[in-house]
Amino acid sequence: MTGVLILDKPAGFTSFDAVAKTRRLCGEKKCGHTGTLDPMATGVMTVLLGGATRFAALLPDHDKAYTAVFQLGRITDTLDVTGTVLETRPVTATRADVEAALAAFRGEITQIPPMYSAVSVGGQRLYQLARQGVEIERPARRVTVQTLTLTQADEAAHTYTIAVECSAGTYIRTLIGDLGTQLGCGAVLTALRRTRANGFPETQAVTLDRLAEAAAQGTAESLLLPLDRALTAYPALTVTPAQAARFRNGGALFTARLHGLQGAGLYRVYDPDGAFLGLGESDGGELLAVKRVFQEK
């Protein structure tokens, strides 16, 4: 079973748990995801199965979108409600104060990854160190927040909801924690839903219950999308039968004989019948090298 499953991850599941259940339901040993979601988070998680797993590192880094709920007045070690409360503070900030503070987090901003994250520093995952009570210095990273909108507010409960569109690698927990620092009262993430990832919106996502139902009926494969649907950011090339055979065998193609080549970069390569062959890579020279050949297994 090969393809892409857009999974609607439920709360309480780690990304590993969600992939493990998908693997069991689909009966496919090769199975992996392209972007971690915290256990408390729900929403879009792209899962690759079978021969599609070989392309995991080649999927374009699309921007992502989230709906996040947070509460002012608390600070935890994880920056969300699952952590240990380190401090509580009085809240004087109003809705207007929150809206004004959000302006500083739009555009290109700097974030320091949270200790409770899957980032690797010096060969160790930060969350592994955090569980040992160890905190280390983390390098700051630049991320981009394209849109940041306040969508709901409960001033009495100090609870707010925001919609975020951002670059891959943006930590919403960190954004909330930094917002709380700017407001002077602290803030924790209380709920998070990813509404878009890898170019796929939540409307295309399948729940584990739906997958289980389809698996019981023997129709789970019908829920998968073709691999090349996740690669549409790359331009497409259609080659001749002879070129297709050469490409399948790992042979480079002469760029002068290819129609539609637009310079250096990755390309989706198709045979004359429209079958996806894999990804080719041009450095702007005479040859289109094989980056990855698509195989069902």
Catalytically annotated residues: 38
Using CA atoms, how far residue 47 sits from 74, 95, 203, 217, 224, in Å, is 34, 38, 16, 21, 10
Report which of 177, 197, 64 is spatially closest to residue 112, judged by C-alpha positions.
177
CA-CA-CA-CA torsion sign (286, 292, 294, 297): positive
Reading the block at residue 75, the tokens are 């600070």
How many CB atoms sit inside 10 A of residue 239's CB? 21
Which residue bears the tokens 């496919």? Answer: 28
Residue 287 exposed, middle or buried by CB count within 10 Å (0-12, 13-18, 19+): middle
CA–CA separation, 102 and 234 (whole Å): 34
Task: Please answer whether residues 113 and 125 qualify as being in contact, where contact means their C-beta atoms are separated by less than 8 angstroms.
Answer: no
CA angle 194, 165, 195 (to 5 degrees): 25
Q: Which amino acid is at 250?
A: G
Crossing angle of helices 95-102 and 172-183, in 10° steps, is 120
